[in-house]
Structure 1
Amino acid sequence: MQKVNLIGLKCPMPLIRFKKTLAEFPCEASFEVFVDDPGALSDFPAFCRKFKYECHVLSEEPHITLQINRS
């Protein structure tokens, strides 16, 4: 599982950086994403639905932790 630290980035940068990570690790199946921008709670699930990834919110405190899996 690839860990992706996006804490401190504001919209739209977390999603832009995550897209770059997907390109850098094309064979990786799972990502654990750490972000503190509240917009991520809606942005990441919408992105995942569009591109057929699974997205699960693991926690919201002290920051948002998402698990994203390639389908």
Structure 2
Amino acid sequence: MATLDARGLQCPMPIVELAKKMKELKEGEILELIADDVGAKEDVPAWCNRTGNELVEMTEENGILAFKIKKK
């Protein structure tokens, strides 16, 4: 599983970096995105819906968001 640490990045940069990183993955691979931008809570699921990738899991702990996204 690949990991992208987007902590410290503000909207729209977590999504920009996510899109770049997902291009490097093969279909079926999972990317873990870690972010602290509160906008990511809405932006990442919306991006997954728009691109057809699957949001497998989203967790939040102490203001840190973690998303697991499966490439379609």
Instruction: State TM-score, norm by structure 1.
Output: 0.88
Q: Aligned runs of 1:1-71 on 2, under 5 Å?
A: 1-23=1-23, 25-27=24-26, 29-55=29-55, 56-57=57-58, 59-62=59-62, 63-71=64-72
Distance across 2 between alignment mates of 1:64 and 1:48: 16
Counting matched residue pairs gives 69
What SS class does the counterpart of residue 61 from structure 2 fall into? Answer: coil
Q: What is the RMSD of the two structures over their aligned residues, measured on CA atoms? A: 1.2
Unaligned runs of 5+ in 1: none
Q: What letter is aligned with 1:9?
A: L
- What's the CA shift for 1:26? 3.3
- What's the CA shift for 1:49? 0.6
Residue identity (%) = 32
Unaligned runs of 5+ in 2: none
Q: What letter is aligned with 1:65?
A: A
Give structure 1 regions of 4+ aligned residues with deviation exceeding 4 angstroms: none
Q: What letter is aligned with 1:52?
A: G
CA-to-aligned-CA distance 1:27-54 (integer Å, 9 cap, x gap): 2610011000000010000010111111
Q: What letter is aligned with 1:53?
A: N
Distance across 1 between alignment mates of 2:5 and 2:65: 11
